[in-house]
Structure 1
Amino acid sequence: MRTIKFLLQKEFRQIFRNRAILAMVMVMPVMQLLILPLASNYEVKNVNIAVIDNDHSSYSQKLISKITASGYFKLTGYDFSFKEAFKLIESDKADLILEIPHGFERNLVREDEQKLFIAVNAINGTKANLGGVYLTGIIKNFNADVRVQLVQPGKFNQQPTITIASSNWFNPYLNYHVFMVPGILAILVTMIGGFLTALNIVKEKEVGTIEQINVTPIKKHHFILGKLIPFWILGNIVFTLGLIVSWLIYGITPLGNILLLYAFIAVYLLAISGFGLLISTFCDTQQQAMFVMFFFMMVFILMGGLFTSIDSMPDWAKFVTKFNPVAYLIDVMRMIILKGSGFKDIAKQLGTIGLFAVVLNSWAIINYKKTS
């Protein structure tokens, strides 16, 4: 313990001497947590729509007014030909084209049916899909309103109807920040715990102090623990700052046991810090360590379930995510913070991360080559 104490004193002195690390740990995560949730929003609004109204009737005007009043669409063109409207799509000024045919109101009243033409710019598949769904839903609601107006009382026998009352659990107001903030906080904790430890041993190699350490009687596991513990503590500090920002700015408070959340974070930081130290033992320069860690971080983040649901991934990707520690952290963060899950609910994830911590840190200790 005395050896580890001296190593920790050395590491903390190096950390406090480096103001860039302190700024990275204290300021950058807070700024990112303030900015990223505001930008990371999958709700599509302000979809540009061009309308070709060949009817110019009261019904067509009501439909256009209903579309623009929905809050999802912005009317960028009101043209009289499809050719002119299509130029707006080619210049990326319109995402959808709605063409209302001539005789729209007459056919709807007399024939009880009328077709509309919708053209969607599908370069951005997400925006095209959601924009088309929004527009179709608005048209269906408009059609239902028209049918209510046209049906004469007593003309048809009353039919039994089904009424649906929906209840949104865990996020009743469908606020996207509530869903994204825990995931983004998980990424920030991973970046601090992974990147800083990955650069640690390599820095000793670059400045030449690793040779002095190698000739000392310090054992390999003491050296690895001395490198791991400081950034484990810093990771917990970053996580605490993130929880405070989430509470003050977004009003998010954990519904579950906060001690259970900290217990999982403690084990997770051991795993991700061990992974960073393992990378550091393979690399000779900080540049090499940064590139290797950046490669793995990109895979961890993009396949961690933050931006894309793991359930929608192909089978091979689902198998890969079983070895992705970030996926477990994002899942547990949302379970405890949003759903109030208990120990039994996260026991499987906790056991897996604990196994990662043992394997990665043991591998780092074995791979660190110390010459006496």
Structure 2
Amino acid sequence: MSALKFILQKEFKQIFRDKGMLPIIFAMPIVQLLVLSFAATFDVKDIKIEIVDRDHSELSQQLISKYEASNYFSIVNFRNATDPYGEVLQNGSASISLEIPNDFEKDLINNKPVDLSAKVNAIDGMTAGVSASYSQTIIQEFREEFLTNHDFSDVVKEKGIEPFQVNFSMQNWYNPTLNYKYYMVPGLLVLLVSMIGLFLTSMNIVKEKEIGTIEQLNVTPITKGEFIVGKLLPFWCIGMFVLSFGLVIAKLFFNVPILGPLYIVFSFAMVYLLVVLGIGLFISTKADTQQQAMFIAWFFMIVFVLLSGLFTPIENMPVWAQQITLLNPVRYFVEVMRNVLLKGATFTDVKNNFIIIAIYAALVNTMAILAYRKTN
């Protein structure tokens, strides 16, 4: 027992004397718990809706006011004419486009059936279903108020027709069958590419430190630039291979649609991998052991994934969490993958993502190069 006692004392002292280990043990779990508990939410709220009002009547305004008063919907656009191409759904500025037809008020008062239609961005099938349910609830509330203010008892007795007949139809765009795999597989492919790039690179230089070969490399005539490129290029090639192989599996096994040009996906991945590899390289230059590097890389990976919109739509997160996601490179790749594969987005649609990730790559790799000091 005395031997065990000394071993335990030795291990605890070694852990608490390691300045790099203490933040990993105490700070990282606290940050993850505080931030991710709010960000990883399955609540569906702040649903951005466009309303196409072709009637411009008092009753149509009353229906619109119902959506304005709702805690779940946020009206982002009004339109007077039908948008057959779903412009707001394509550019992502709204998730639902609700159309109020001509003669909406006239038909209701005359007890004629009314057709309300809505186009829904159904890439995320669960969110689309919940959004449709909320919308139907609002229409039902509007119906009850309308029946309270109008007496249709005579019509019901004479013709046996139920008053206020509203046919509410939903058109699921981009994912008509609400297949959850269409939503998840592109995001999971981004996750795999990110994990391989970040984890392998983060342990690269620190491994050289542990086995003692870093000193030998430092005294060689290899320049810092050659050393960095030599360290990153193999993992960059591996990441591109994983992406290519993953897209083949996604098409053959899950039948994920590929509506947009794949050159956009691969072009973005080329730049995106530089960001992930740069982060991993920076971690590797700062960590003293592979264990430290793995913990730090895992911390960043968990935050990146849960704040990327992979599992939880970003618009459902608190405002402060949405602001943090702007610093998350994984978010931009997930958006590009889903928009190109499922929406058929063009380069113009995702050019802002390209600009942001290119700036990110330049900054991260500059930091990584400056952090590595090669002594001659």
Could you state the TM-score of these two structures normalised by the residue count of structure 2?
A: 0.58
The secondary structure found in structure 2 opposite 1:166 is: strand
Counterpart of 1:262?
266
What SS is found at the alignment partner of 2:330?
A: helix
Name the structure 2 match of 1:74.
none
Alignment root-mean-square deviation, CA:
2.6
**Cα deviation digits, residues 191-225 of structure 1 (max 9, x gap):** 01111111111111111111111001211111111
Q: Which residue of the partner structure matches residue 180 of structure 2?
A: 176
Percent identity for Structure 1 against Structure 2: 48
Q: 2:254 matched to 1:246?
A: no
Displacement of 1:160 after TM fit?
Answer: 5.8
Give the Cα separation in 2 of the matches to 1:268 and 1:155: 65
1:167 is the counterpart of 2:168: no
What corresponds to 1:236 in structure 2? 240
Give the C-alpha shift of residue 156 in structure 1: 4.8
1:301 corresponds to: 305
Residues 145-294 of structure 1 aligned to structure 2 (within 5 Å): 154=158, 156=160, 159=163, 161-294=165-298
Gaps of 5+ in 1: 1-41, 43-125, 141-150
1:313 aligns with 2:347: no
Q: Which runs of 4+ in 1 moved over 6 A?
A: none
Equivalent of 1:343 in 337, 341, 347? 347
Change (3 A) 1:152 1:162: closer
The structure-2 alpha-carbon separation of the partners of 1:319 and 1:160, relative to structure 1 and needing over 3 Å to count, comes to closer
8 Å CA contact 2:182–2:257 kept in 1: the answer is no
Amino acid of the structure 2 residue aligned with 1:249? F
Letter of the 2:287 counterpart: C
The structure with more radius of gyration: 1
1:204-248 deviation line (CA, Å, top 9, x unaligned): 111111111100121111111111110000001111111011011
Structure 2: how far apart are the matches of 1:157 and 1:272?
63
- Aligned counterpart, 2:122: none
Structure 2 CA distance for aligned equivalents of residues 258 and 153 of structure 1 = 62
Q: The residue matched to 1:165 in structure 2 has which SS?
A: strand
| Counterparts in 2 of 1:212 and 1:247: CA distance versus 1, 3 Å | same
Corresponding residue pairs, total: 232
For residues 311 and 371 of structure 2, the distance between their equivalents in structure 1, rounded to whole angstroms, comes to: 34
Give the TM-score, by structure 1 length: 0.59
Structure 1 pair 315–165 and aligned structure 2 pair: CA distance change class (3 A): closer
Provide the rounded CA distance (Å) in 1 between the counterparts of 2:258 and 2:159. Answer: 55
8 Å Cα contact 2:259/2:343 also seen in 1: yes
1:309-362 Cα shifts (integer Å, max 9, x gaps): 111111211111111001111111111111010111111111111111111111
User: Within 5 A, what are the aligned runs for 1:25-64?
Assistant: none
Range 177-186 or range 152-161, more displaced: 152-161
Letter in 1 for 2:321: A
Deviation at 1:164, TM superposition (A): 3.0
How far the C-alpha of 1:157 sits from its partner, in A, is: 6.0
Matches of 2:221 and 2:257 in 1, distance apart?
Answer: 47
Q: Bigger shift: 159-168 or 252-261?
A: 159-168
